[in-house]
Chains A and B, each alone.
Chain A
Amino acid sequence: MAAISAIPDCIGVEILVDFYHFRLEEGMYLGRVMGRVVCTQKDPQMHGLKMLIVTAIDDDGAAIGQPFVACDSTDAGNGETVFLCGGSEASLPFVKQRPPSDATILGIVDLIEK
């Protein structure tokens, strides 16, 4: 949260922070799969990829912010807890393709221990 409060107060930035408030902090994060999106017409590099609707979750599994769309590299299913990465690294996990992606599911979480 320190990074967010350091940003000067102006309307445009406020909206940006609200939209991305969990992603401003760098690193991978946890999410939960809520649904899926189907596109026939899409970038050729995205052919054969599953696109899922994911909500970021906090330590206790409560949803944070708005759901968004992420590419899936793990064959995750509905309701599963997953971990994701953002940024330019999001197009790297795929073997034969480099899809344009800003969020990709990297793994399925089995257990979170307290």
Chain B
Amino acid sequence: MNLGKVVRKVVSTIKNNAFHARPLLLVQPLDIHFQPSGTSVLCIDFMGSDLGEIVLMMKEGSSVQQMLNNKQAPADAAIVGIVDSVDFKGKTIFCKSAPADAGAGG
């Protein structure tokens, strides 16, 4: 599993039945310093994540099929969690309740 940031929402009408009523999101994988790493991945969203959120993305076909209750589902990436906080080497490097780059909000 990897950390990722939701960068796009994707809407598709004509698609495989396995994807019915499941949102598709484009997720940019992040490294441990929250910098983009590699190309973005199209994931099925099971969590109701929003644009810009830091999520946990899982790239394993049979686990996605199990979550969809469909052994024939042609999918291999899913969002399985919305990240609240990340501790790395004893320091909290990410906390959702106190976003570092939120800017000056009202």
Contacts and interface: CB of A to CB of B under 8 A. Distances in A.
Interface of A: 12, 15-16, 18-19, 34-43, 46, 51, 53, 66-71, 78, 86-88, 90-91, 98-103
Chain B: interface size category: 35 or more
A86 B59 CA distance: 10
Contacts, number: 108
Interface of B: 1-3, 29, 31-32, 37-39, 46-48, 56, 58-64, 66-67, 78, 80-90, 93
Given A37-B85, A37-B86, A42-B82, A69 B63 contact: no
Contact of B90 (A15, A16, A67, A78): A78
Contacts of A88: 60-63
